[in-house]
Structure 1
């Protein structure tokens, strides 16, 4: 399963590569990283049909994760099947959750990310 992680914090790459070392090594998961909403859109323009899941931070300078989500849902209608989009926020407030769901997010995770719970979600997605 190909996953695009979008976060302005560059150390997120090392964190994901450490936490999913086994799944990456086995080829079960493949991660790509974008460090802004704009960079994510450029990546998706070139690789959209490959991406199964997008994990995006909401609070980023420039284009926010919610703006990115709006672009994804407007610019990439089916087919191919749209990717699952999970938004990540340091603020577990109801407004962010409601806005993310309204814009088409499939789930909302809070920081710090619970990697055990995320692994379970990824396993259930890859079983579909």
Structure 2
């Protein structure tokens, strides 16, 4: 007979709320990259206006997919380390891009601020992963 896999402890409450905030953040991000919204607000925020609708829909859909993943983890309270590790890497990378393109003058201040939020979420994801890994080793 094979042994049952060890059940995962539920996600810590502080991290569940982090996931909820990240899900909400991503929903707003997805909406803001959807072409109808993006094209109507890009000039106001100083964003590039010569972006293809295809690119914007791809970006918006991926932001939304990750947001739904965060919401799913918030609701189900089941840890998914691989998803959170991939999400941390994505959030860190997009923050880095926002910072680089802001400092080169290609993106406005709002991009830098959004990058700060993504970086903060990335750090919180990494902290949770480290805490979870330490608990599993003991």
Normalized per residue, which structure has more helix? 2
For the criterion TM > 0.5, the same-fold answer is no
Which TM class, normalised by the smaller chain length?
Answer: under 0.3
Larger Rg: 2
- Scaled by the length of structure 1, what TM-score is found? 0.26
- Scaled by the length of structure 2, what TM-score is found? 0.25
Normalized per residue, which structure has more strand? 1
